[in-house]
Amino acid sequence: MPRFALKIEYHGAPFVGWQRQIDLPSVQGAIEAALAKLEPRVHNIAAAGRTDAGVHALAQVAHCDMENDWTAFRLSEALNYHLKPTPIGIVGCAEVAPDWHARFSALERQYHFRILTRRAPATHQAGLVWQVKHPLDVAAMQAGADRLVGRHDFTTFRSTICQAKSPVKTLDRLNISEVETAQGTEVHFDVRARSFLHNQVRSFVGTLERVGGGSLSPDGVSTALEAKDRAACGPVCPPHGLYLAAVSYEADPFA
């Protein structure tokens, strides 16, 4: 039974998230339904990360097991045909070893977040960015972000329904940059770690937005982290500015 790695791009707006849910539209459910059109049976695919409702992906990675003799090209073409008209695209497909696992073989996940800072309503970017109407001090935000890099107890930045066994994680990178676009100024977050807690990235961004707006100091981020208390976290930002941007493996299966 050959195993295939899938690189998946999707717009998260129509879905309750990645994970399959009964009678609700999910990314996993849509792909498994497409696979059942190719091989009529129950399919169970595994992904590198479970994105929440409204979160997008540029390069989610999952794997599936097939019974028939598919080439990677034929499989991706067939899946893309049967995924229409959902906003899901299989942008990469490769046969991998039978013991390769999209989640457990992953070495690092990279998330990207976009904030659009302008007063006029977002039109073309609606649903793809978090819009705030005031300017942000990116240097102060980066100073606050630097307090979060490394190995910490991230209880403050962890959802109360998080199922992870431990709140202790190592954050490898949290870089913030300002980008001028035709639509206005955007603030971009590049966040990388081997694994994340539920709502961790959105909790970071919501707290750091308060730093950029001047209602919290960079030292306040350290205080919040050290509190190990969810009540010390800033507002959790909305999901539609968040993207699963990349998943790294010891050997890139799509190279």
| Number of domains the chain is built from | 2
Residue 253 lies in a domain: no
Same-domain check for residues 86 and 130: no
* Domain limit, last residue, from 104, 124, 158: 104
* Domain limit, last residue, from 104, 138, 169: 104
Quote the mean pLDDT of the chain.
96
Same-domain check for residues 229 and 242: yes
CATH number where 90 lies: 3.30.70.580
Per-residue confidence (pLDDT) for residue 81, from 0 to 100: 98
Same-domain check for residues 52 and 154: no
CATH number where 241 lies: 3.30.70.660
Same-domain check for residues 91 and 143: no
**Is there a catalytic annotation at residue 153?**
no
Give the percent of the chain with pLDDT over 90.
Answer: 96
Per-residue confidence (pLDDT) for residue 197, from 0 to 100: 96
Per-residue confidence (pLDDT) for residue 1, from 0 to 100: 86
Per-position DSSP letters for the chain, written without gaps between them:
--EEEEEEEE--TTSSBSS-BTTB--HHHHHHHHHHHHS-S----EES---BTT-EEEEEEEEEE-SS---HHHHHHHHHHHHTTSSEEEEEEEEE-TT--TTTTEEEEEEEEEEEE-SSPPSTTTTTSEEESS---HHHHHHHHHTT-EEEE-GGGS-TT---S-SEEEEEEEEEEEEEETTEEEEEEEEEES---TTHHHHHHHHHHHHHHTSS-HHHHHHHHHHT-GGGS-PPPPGGGEEEEEEEESS-TT-
Per-residue confidence (pLDDT) for residue 163, from 0 to 100: 87
Q: Which of 52, 65, 146, 153 is catalytic?
A: 52
Same-domain check for residues 136 and 51: no
Same-domain check for residues 155 and 114: yes
Residue-range definition of the domain harbouring residue 62: 3-104
Same-domain check for residues 44 and 123: no
* Domain limit, last residue, from 62, 81, 104: 104
Residue 153 lies in a domain: yes
Per-residue confidence (pLDDT) for residue 183, from 0 to 100: 87
Same-domain check for residues 26 and 110: no
- Flag residues of the chain having pLDDT under 50: none
Same-domain check for residues 69 and 115: no
